[in-house]
Amino acid sequence: MHRWRFARSERPLGESFLWDPDARLGVCGDWCLGGRIEGAYLSGDRLAKHVLSRAGTPRTAKLA
Ligand SMILES: Cc1cc2nc3c(=O)[nH]c(=O)nc-3n(C[C@H](O)[C@H](O)[C@H](O)COP(=O)(O)OP(=O)(O)OC[C@H]3O[C@@H](n4cnc5c(N)ncnc54)[C@H](O)[C@@H]3O)c2cc1C
């Protein structure tokens, strides 16, 4: 039995994330792919890659 069962989505979205191209706003989380750390990680990772792919080359931090 999982203690976090009441925190789980009954029906996950089935998509990695949602993206509004007009607002350029995305949402992600475990409710997208399933209520586990893996689902939350994959959702965030895929949205981050989507944002970076639209922004061009990722900025690199410069050390002073
Ligand atoms: C008791 C418990 C035990 C669990 N054990 C496991 C386990 O053993 N293995 C496993 O794989 N998964 C486990 N899970 C599930 C796992 O914790 C979640 O799947 C994961 O944390 C979801 O990550 P997330 O980033 O989608 O959401 P969250 O971790 O819920 O992060 C959402 C964040 O958004 C913030 N937030 C909410 N509303 C606002 C707002 N209006 N403005 C600003 N910030 C906001 C919250 O404060 C929170 O920091 C457990 C869950 C619970 C509840």
User: Is residue 1 predicted with pLDDT exceeding 70?
Assistant: no
Q: Which two tokens stand for residue 30?
A: 């475990």
Give pTM, 2 decimals: 0.86
φ, ψ dihedrals at 56, nearest 5°: 95, -150
In angstroms, rounded to a whole number, what is the distance separating the alpha carbons of residues 4 and 36?
9
Residues 47-64 have a mean pLDDT of 75
Burial of 6 (0-12, 13-18, 19+ CB in 10 A): exposed
Q: Which ligand 1 atom minimizes the distance to the CA of 44?
A: 25
Q: Which ligand 1 atom minimizes the distance to the CA of 34?
A: 19
**pLDDT tens-digit series, residues 22-43:** 999 999 999 999 888 999 999 9
Question: For position 56, what pLDDT does the model report?
Answer: 60
33, 35, 36, 42: CA torsion to nearest 10 = 20
**pLDDT tier at 3, thresholds 50, 70, 90:** confident
**Pocket of ligand 1 contains residue 7 by CB under 6 Å:** yes
The letter for the amino acid at 48 is A
Atom 50 of ligand 1, residue of closest alpha carbon: 4
**Pocket of ligand 1 contains residue 27 by CB under 6 Å:** no
